[in-house]
């Protein structure tokens, strides 16, 4: 954390709040498109239409001279991210926006567990307790035995796990190649990975649907860019809690635009998860390490 970053918390908070608006816009558009386009095809079109944003990254990728090991890791990350994106699109068409947003907060928790299990990172008792509390938050949202657990909920649980696996792979690569290469290779591998899934369920999209999915690519790209600005302006301990606003906006959007009921248990469960993630982030900042990504880093 640089002194400059520490001295600009308001700027960091603004950009992270803006990031949240961008990603909520992504979820709203995907919800609007709904099941009119199969999940795999919608995900593929989002990435294919977004390849225009890849052009500045081609030169760094060519200059990186990736080793065979690095290529395998990139393709593995692309594979798990492909499955995660399909499941996310599937869930968005079937369960309320607020539930999708709240359950997405679980990804950083899975990253913490994965870092301990597969990368040899320490998992101190306080951090382990925070992980357990986050999982309790997930149970508050799902409330098994009280309300029906739908396929969309199962899909979101899988999404969080797969996004975490992809992040852990990216963490290994981030110290070897530039950020442009990491982001560019993700776009390439996921587009290729989604193609066969999309072809298997292909329906001819309308121009309106193509337009909406191109907007998804635009908002997602803008969100990742503003998130980078937030990281440059302020430390994670400042920007991380701001991501909880996404749940607030998702609840409001679902209620006002899509007529979804406001579920207090979902908000409470999301708050529990977000508090746990914020604590984990704070502990890692104290230890001067970055193991767990913020919620929006796991977005597609």
Banded model confidence at residue 155, pLDDT cuts 50, 70, 90: very high
Q: What is the pLDDT of residues 66-79, one digit of tens each?
A: 999 999 999 999 99
Whether the per-residue pLDDT at 153 is higher than 80: the answer is yes
Other CB atoms within 10 A of residue 22 CB: 21
Mean pLDDT calculated for residue range 99-118: 84
Q: Which of 30-34, 49-53, 281-285, 286-290 has the lowest mean pLDDT?
A: 286-290
Chain mean pLDDT for the chain? 84
The reported pTM is: 0.81
Cβ neighbors of 199 (< 8 A, separation 6 or more) are none
93-107, 222-236, 266-280: least confident range: 222-236
pLDDT band, residue 193 (cuts 50/70/90)? very high
Looking at residue 161, its pLDDT comes to 92
Quick: pLDDT tens for 167-188.
Answer: 888 878 877 888 788 888 988 9
pLDDT tens digits, residue range 5-20? 445 778 888 988 898 8
pLDDT-based confidence at residue 90 (cuts at 50, 70, 90): very high
Range of weakest confidence among 18-22, 141-145, 214-218, 267-271: 141-145
The answer to whether residue 250 scores a pLDDT higher than 90 is: no
Mean pLDDT of all residues in 214-242: 80
Whether the CA torsion 113, 116, 121, 122 is positive or negative: it is positive
Q: Is the pLDDT of residue 120 over 80?
A: no
- Domain count for the chain, please give it: 1
Q: Would you state the pLDDT for residue 5? A: 40
pLDDT band at 3 (very low <50, low <70, confident <90, very high): very low
Contact 152, 91 (CB under 8 A): yes
Give percent above pLDDT 90 in the chain: 27
In this prediction, residue 4 carries a pLDDT of 45
- Segments forming the whole domain that contains residue 106: 3-298
């Amino acid at each position: 954390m640089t002194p400059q970053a520490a001295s600009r918390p308001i700027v960091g908070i603004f950009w992270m709040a803006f990031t949240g608006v961008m990603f909520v816009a992504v979820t709203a558009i995907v919800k609007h498109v709904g099941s009119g386009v199969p999940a795999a095809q919608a995900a593929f079109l989002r990435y294919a239409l977004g390849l225009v944003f890849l052009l500045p990254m081609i030169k760094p990728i060519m200059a990186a001279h990736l080793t065979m090991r690095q290529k395998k890791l990139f393709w593995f990350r692309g594979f798990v991210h492909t499955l995660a994106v399909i499941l996310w699109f599937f869930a968005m068409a079937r369960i309320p926006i607020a539930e999708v947003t709240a359950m997405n907060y679980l990804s950083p928790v899975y990253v913490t567990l994965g870092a301990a299990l597969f990368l040899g990172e320490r998992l101190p008792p306080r951090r382990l307790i925070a992980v357990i509390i986050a999982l309790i938050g997930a149970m508050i949202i799902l409330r098994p035995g009280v309300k029906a657990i739908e396929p969309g909920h199962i899909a979101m649980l899988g999404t969080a796990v797969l996004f975490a696996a992809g992040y852990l792979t990216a963490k290994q690569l981030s110290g070897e190649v530039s950020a442009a290469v990491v982001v560019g290779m993700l776009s390439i591998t996921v587009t290729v990975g989604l193609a066969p899934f999309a072809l298997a369920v292909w329906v001819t999209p309308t121009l309106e649907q193509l337009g909406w999915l191109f907007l998804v690519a635009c908002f997602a790209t803008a969100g990742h860019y503003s998130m980078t600005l937030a990281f440059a302006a302020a430390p994670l301990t400042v920007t991380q809690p701001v991501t909880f606003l996404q749940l607030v906006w998702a609840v409001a959007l679902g209620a006002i635009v899509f007529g979804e009921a406001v579920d207090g248990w979902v908000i409470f469960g999301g708050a529990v998860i977000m508090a746990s993630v914020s604590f984990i982030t704070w502990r890692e900042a104290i230890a001067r390490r970055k193991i767990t990504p913020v919620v929006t880093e796991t977005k597609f």
